Structure 1
Amino acid sequence: MARPLRLPMLWILPILVTAVVVAALFAAPPHGLGWVALLAGLVGGGMLGLWRARLMRLHIEGEEGAARVMLRQSPAALLLIAAIFVVRRIVFPQFHTGAADHATLLATMLTDFGLGLVPGLICGQRLALWLRARDMIANHRHDG
């Protein structure tokens, strides 16, 4: 089902998700290669967000001043966010008690990657949607 894409509101979710991720990183910062994994997640998430936004269908309803950009969206990204935070919360208590074996370190790096992936995905997606919608409004054309 299509819903209106509110361009002035596109920045809110990236700010909220980034704030939550920063709070999680402040509470349990990555160590060593965890920072590299986090950066790789940001870059990979940004690329996935751009790709995901290109798959979303946008169209314009109405004419002239009453024209609105409409969007058809999937809730899959929200499920990814929730899963990453749950996994990180389960893994990190083991890491800080000194029981950090190889599997725990690998899981920690994967969750650091995931914590970078989420804001990268959301920011990349929102940026691409904003650029596409702005172009559609300026040229009053339909997206393919």
Structure 2
Amino acid sequence: MHTEAGPTWMQYVMPVIVIAVVMALRWRRMSRARPLKIETLWIVPAIYLLIVDFVFYAAPPSPMGWLWSAVALVFGIAGGWYRGRTMQITVDPATHTLNQKASPAAFLILIVLVVLRKAAGEELGGGNPHSPAALLATDIGMAFALGLYSATRLEMALRAKRLLRESLSKTFS
């Protein structure tokens, strides 16, 4: 006789373990400066915009869903601008190459977002990813992430260009 049981403890523990491993690897990589190429900062937001467009076109939100998604986009932009400001950007005075180094604050924002998204999906959807509440949570999360990624990259690009201009003007003064 087969009875359907509720979720096992492994269904809760495995995502936490995977997230912890990914975050640990990211934390280690975050401590090193990496080259920053201004000309490629638009790629991630553009790809994510295409994904969001596809999802919203395939399953358009309700009018209230659009409103909540717009609010989430605004909050994402604000959070992304702050996250971008926390990224350390330096210019090598000799070669004028740009480098970036993520900050712990930017990293903590990502951790909080992952945890909130997981909790919202479970709580609102009641375990059903196709419930209207779970779909709304997904739409809101996608709009927020679009604002976050786009504003982070825009702020970094503007600041990197300014720092590069300042560095070049000091060199030729």
SS in 1 for 2:91: strand
* Equivalent residue in structure 1 for 2:58, among 27, 42, 59: 27
Q: Does residue 1:130 correspond to 2:139, yes or no?
A: no
Q: Is the 8 A contact 1:60 1:70 kept in 2?
A: yes
Aligned to 1:8: 39
Does the 8 A contact of 1:14 with 1:122 survive in 2? yes
Q: Percent identity?
A: 28
Deviation at 1:54, TM superposition (A): 0.6
Q: Which residue matches 1:117?
A: 144
The structure whose RCO (Cα within 8 Å, separation 6+) is larger is 1
Structure 2: how far apart are the matches of 1:52 and 1:22?
24
Whole-angstrom distance in 1 between the partners of 2:166 and 2:87? 19
1:69 is the counterpart of 2:69? no
1:51 aligns to what? Answer: 82
Say if 1:28 and 1:92, in contact at 8 Å, map to a contact too. Answer: no
Q: Is the 8 A contact 2:93 2:167 kept in 1?
A: no
Q: Contact 1:84/1:115 (CA < 8 Å) preserved in 2?
A: no
Match of 2:5 in 1: none
For normalisation by structure 2, the TM-score amounts to 0.64
**Which structure 2 residue ranges, 5 or more long, are not aligned?**
1-31, 169-173
TM-score by structure 1 length? 0.75
Moved over 3 A (4+): 74-81, 87-92
Count of aligned pairs = 129
Correspondence for 2:69 = 38
| The structure with more radius of gyration | 2
Task: Report the Cα offset of residue 60 of structure 1.
Answer: 1.2
**Correspondence for 2:131:** 94
- The one-letter code of the counterpart of 1:70 is N
Alpha-carbon distance, 1:108 to partner: 3.6
The structure-2 alpha-carbon separation of the partners of 1:18 and 1:77, relative to structure 1 and needing over 3 Å to count, comes to: farther
